[in-house]
Amino acid sequence: MIKKIKAFIAVAALSGTVGANVQAAEVTVKKGDTLWELSQLHNTSVENIEKWNQLSTDLIHPGDVLTIATEKQYTVQQDDTLWDVALKYQVSVNQIKEWNNLNTDLIHPGLNLIIYDELNDNVKNADSATQVQNNNNDQSKNIPVEPSSTLGEKTSENENTTVNKANNNNESSNSEVEGTKELTVKATAYTASCEGCSGITATGVDLNANPNAKVIAVDPSVIPLGSKVYVEGYGVATAADTGGAIKGNRIDVFIPSEQDAINWGKKQVKVKILND
């Protein structure tokens, strides 16, 4: 059994409060300027300025153009996770932890988080690349404010469950797939790698050993476990997993890449049950 990674929540779903918007500024260094003075002026740290501008030293020269973002505050609300906040501002969980000196993913309602969300694309992309490189050792997954659901709470006796691999046939259009039942559901995404996770689904599928498996987590009372389904925008998959947060017309689609799972976000899609 493994702990369920809480589904990636869409930006609009966050209910927290944020301070006034502050955009990143491009600052031209003048004679006599230092990184420390600029950090104080813009309410940030020398380390942040160095990171945003990929500086290996605190030595700057007149005429240098630096990207500097002024901080804003986000107040954590009930059921928020670091992953929710990171998704909202398109930053990484590691960045939020670093900015706020957090050594755990656990956050609580009322906690004020420092966020820098108006950095230019080059800076964000550099940070994202660093995050992806460190994903194998990354513990910054969706740990909810309060204990949430579990993935694979009960392992099926049938541990040889066959799942569909990603292929061109899975990407056939919705109109080409006939099913016994069609539903409209809210679809979020999850990955299999997190601290303490084995990557085994409720029906015994090893997602770490089968990263190309097309698997979704479902509410078995709506979509029976073991069903073959067609998910709009995802393809043909197997209902091979469950989760405490997956209730009613809601599913989680398994995506091996953390960044791709973030990009999936939260969607309303059509699901056709091909068999029960």
Domain at 126, CATH number: 3.10.350.10
Q: Tokens 């084995």 map to which residue?
A: 198
The CA-atom distances, in angstroms, between 150 and each of 3, 86, 135 are 5, 21, 21
Residue 30 shares a structural domain with residue 127: yes
Domain that holds residue 82: 11-137
Residue 169 shares a structural domain with residue 88: no
Structure confidence at residue 224 (pLDDT): 93
Structure confidence at residue 196 (pLDDT): 55
Structure confidence at residue 63 (pLDDT): 87
Residue 190 shares a structural domain with residue 256: yes
Residue 60 shares a structural domain with residue 178: no
CATH number at residue 175: 2.40.40.10
Is 16 domain-assigned? yes
Structure confidence at residue 223 (pLDDT): 93
Residue 191 shares a structural domain with residue 259: yes
- pTM beyond 0.85: no
Residue 193 shares a structural domain with residue 244: yes
Structure confidence at residue 150 (pLDDT): 40
Average pLDDT, 10 consecutive residues per value, the chain (276 residues): 37 36 68 87 81 82 82 84 83 83 86 72 43 41 38 41 43 53 88 72 90 92 93 93 85 87 85 82
Structure confidence at residue 175 (pLDDT): 45
The CA-atom distances, in angstroms, between 46 and each of 96, 131, 257 are 16, 21, 32
Domain total in the chain: 2
| The last residue of a domain, from among 137, 168, 198 | 137
